[in-house]
Structure 1
Amino acid sequence: MTLKPLFLILSIALLFGCAAEEEVALTAAPLADGAFLLGDVTMTEEGEVTVLKRAQMKIYANDRFMFAFMHEELNKPDVGAGITEWEEGALIESPIFNQDGPLDSLHFSLDIQETEGGFLQSIEGLESNGHVYDMVESWDRLPGQTSIFDGLWKLDTREAEEAGELNQFSEIKMIGGGHYIFSQSFLVEGEMQQHFGFGEFSVDATGAAAETMMASSFESLPSEAQVLTLELVDENHFKQSFLWDGLSVTQSYIRQ
Structure 2
Amino acid sequence: MKYLLLIGLMINLIGCGDSPNKTETSFFPDGSYKLQKVQITENDKVTTEIRNQLKIYSNERYMFAFMHPSIGVDVGAGIAKWKDGIMTETPLFNHNGSVSGFEFDLSITQTETGFTQSLTGLVSEDGSILDMIEDWITISSQNSPYDGLWQLETTDLDPNIVSQIKMIGGSQFIELTRSKSGSDIQKQFNFGEFYHVSGTGIELIGVVGEKITNSSLKNNIGEIKTRTYELNGDNLLVTSSSVPGETVIHKYKRI
TM tier relative to shorter chain: 0.7 to 0.9
1:188 pairs, out of 181, 204, 214, with 181
Distance 1:144 1:115, change over 3 A: closer
2:251 matched to 1:231? no
User: Number of matched residues?
Assistant: 225
Q: Would you tell me which structure has more helix in proportion to its own residues?
A: 1
SS at match of 2:24: helix
> In structure 1, what is the equivalent of residue 80 of structure 2?
84
2:180 matched to 1:169? no
Which segment drifts farther, 101-110 or 130-139? 130-139
2:102 pairs, out of 106, 110, 113, with 106
Pairwise CA RMSD: 1.8
Q: How far is 1:28 from its partner?
A: 4.5
TM-score, normalised by the number of residues in structure 2: 0.82
Give distance in 2, aligned partners of 1:212 and 1:223. Answer: 6
Residue correspondence of structure 1 range 114-193 to structure 2 within 5 A: 114-130=110-126, 131-143=128-140, 145-160=142-157, 165-193=158-186
Q: Which amino acid aligns with 1:46?
A: N
2:192 matched to 1:199? yes
SS at match of 1:149: coil
Q: How far is 1:195 from its partner?
A: 0.2
Q: Which amino acid aligns with 1:248?
A: T
Distance 1:90 1:144, change over 3 A: closer
2:67 matched to 1:70? yes
TM-score, normalised by the number of residues in structure 1: 0.82
Q: Which amino acid aligns with 2:49?
A: L
Give distance in 1, aligned partners of 2:227 and 2:141. Answer: 18
Higher relative contact order (CA 8 A, sep 6+): 2
Give distance in 1, aligned partners of 2:225 and 2:52. Answer: 20
Give distance in 1, aligned partners of 2:27 and 2:132. Answer: 20
SS at match of 2:219: coil
Q: Which amino acid aligns with 1:242?
A: S
> In structure 2, what is the equivalent of residue 23 of structure 1?
none
SS at match of 1:172: strand
Contact 2:212–2:222, Cα closer than 8 Å, also in 1: no
Give a deviation string over 1:20-78, Cα, whole Å, max 9, x none. Answer: xxxxxx7251221100111001111232212111110000001111000011112x210
2:34 matched to 1:37? yes
> In structure 2, what is the equivalent of residue 244 of structure 1?
242
Give a deviation string over 1:89-111, Cα, whole Å, max 9, x none. Answer: 22111111100011112111112
Give distance in 2, aligned partners of 1:101 and 1:183. Answer: 10
Unmatched tracts of structure 1, length 5 or more: 1-25
Q: How far is 1:190 from its partner?
A: 3.3
Unmatched tracts of structure 2, length 5 or more: 1-22
Give a deviation string over 1:115-160, Cα, whole Å, max 9, x none. Answer: 1111112222223433432211111111352001100111111124
Give distance in 1, aligned partners of 2:105 and 2:45. Answer: 23
> In structure 1, what is the equivalent of residue 209 of structure 2?
210
Contact 1:109–1:123, Cα closer than 8 Å, also in 2: no
> In structure 2, what is the equivalent of residue 10 of structure 1?
none
Contact 1:144–1:179, Cα closer than 8 Å, also in 2: no
Q: Which amino acid aligns with 1:243?
A: S
